[in-house]
Amino acid sequence: MPIYEYACAACGHRFETLVRSGSEPQCPNCQSKELDKQLSVFATTASSSAPPAMPSACSACEHRGGPGACGMN
């Protein structure tokens, strides 16, 4: 049961909701089912505005090519 973000096409209300299998979400403000699924972003906390550094090696084989470059995968 994933949580999705929506914007209501009828009233413009933006909200998050838990979507159960086989159910159709509706706007909690106006009960419209005309919804636009929004792109979710992950929240992070940091003391600076710079993006976090990528790890220099994977934990399995110490390959330094970055994520997805490991020959063990």
Q: What is the pLDDT of residues 3-33, one digit of tens each?
A: 889 999 999 999 999 888 888 999 999 999 9
CA distance 1 to 16: 13
CA angle, corner 44, sides to 40 and 45, nearest 5? 155
Residue 8 counted as domain residue: yes
Residue 12 counted as domain residue: yes
Residue 61 counted as domain residue: no
pTM: 0.53
- What is the pLDDT at residue 54? 60
- Its domain, for residue 7, covers 3-37
User: How many structural domains is the chain composed of?
Assistant: 1
Residue 67 counted as domain residue: no
Residue 49 counted as domain residue: no
Residue labelled with tokens 């919804």? 35
Residue 10 counted as domain residue: yes
